[in-house]
Amino acid sequence: MTVTKITFFDIPTVLPVPTSPNTWKVRLALNYKGLCYQTRWVETTDIESVSKSLGIPPTGTSPSGVPTYTLPALIDNTFSPPAILSDSTPIIEYLERRYPDPDPTHVLLPSGSRALQALFEYHVATSITAHLLPVMVMHMYSKKTPRDRAHFRQRMEAAFGKKLEDIELKGRDREEAWKRIEGSFDLLSKLLEKNVHGIYFMGENLSLADCMLGGLMLTLRYDSPDEAWLKVVSWNNGRWARYMAALEKWAVVH
């Protein structure tokens, strides 16, 4: 394990593990790279104030032009001045730059693959992540800390103009939404079959794409073990259970 002074900012839940896809994406990368880091847990309610107090940059702007703050974030005090970063992909790019693996096959962003990795991320975000809220909202809510539950309910109800419980699809609409999500996993599975060797998107070596999809899968597994995860592992002849098993050694919380 490489000794560093890295603080990684993640969101706590009522479980012993986090459930945020973007923080899992970076955690998988940190663990894969064998970096030593400590986690600072920040409830969603406090992300903005903690980020501002530490000089962590915003990751977006609200429609009214106000800067918005998200996790993951990372502060690396190994060097002077410290690196202070937010946004999952730039954090992973930084880690790759600062801590290249001596083994040239252990590269999360192989040279020349950034556009394809970005295209993959865009595809998963628009074909899977964007469709999850109406089937996951109550699962997500139930795993949040009590403070974050209140914050989540208030923001979601303001955004959708209805009660949290009514954002969630039920009955036939719910099954149809799951079918669409299954279709997106089917496509990924078909594409993975094109690789002759290896279980990952770039074959035998983990890449950013796997950190992203792996992070999303960990969210499904921990937020919704008895619905989402049961479905995912039943799809594509168990491909996703095998895929997750391959990532398991890096899916740990330090």
Ligand X SMILES: N[C@@H](CCC(=O)N[C@@H](CS)C(=O)NCC(=O)O)C(=O)O
Interface residues toward ligand X, by CB under 6 A: 20-23, 44, 47, 59, 70-72, 87-88
- For residue 215, what are the contacts with CB-CB under 8 A and spacing of at least 6? 20, 21, 22, 23, 24, 25, 27, 28
Name the minimum Å distance from CB 86 to ligand X: 7
Name the minimum Å distance from CB 73 to ligand X: 8
Strands of 65-212 (E only): list them. 67-68, 73-76, 83-86
- Indicate the residue among 118 and 245 with the shorter CB distance to ligand X: 118
- Indicate the residue among 57 and 203 with the shorter CB distance to ligand X: 57
- Indicate the residue among 71 and 202 with the shorter CB distance to ligand X: 71
- Indicate the residue among 108 and 236 with the shorter CB distance to ligand X: 108
Name the minimum Å distance from CB 47 to ligand X: 5
- For residue 160, what are the contacts with CB-CB under 8 A and spacing of at least 6? 167
| Pairing status of strand 60-61 against strand 67-68 | antiparallel
- 67 beta partners: 61
Name the minimum Å distance from CB 244 to ligand X: 18
Structure tokens belonging to residue 253: 């919380």
- Indicate the residue among 9 and 236 with the shorter CB distance to ligand X: 9
Name the minimum Å distance from CB 217 to ligand X: 14
Query: What value, to the nearest 5°, has the Cα angle with vertex 243 and ends 241 and 245?
Result: 70
Structure tokens belonging to residue 28: 């998988």
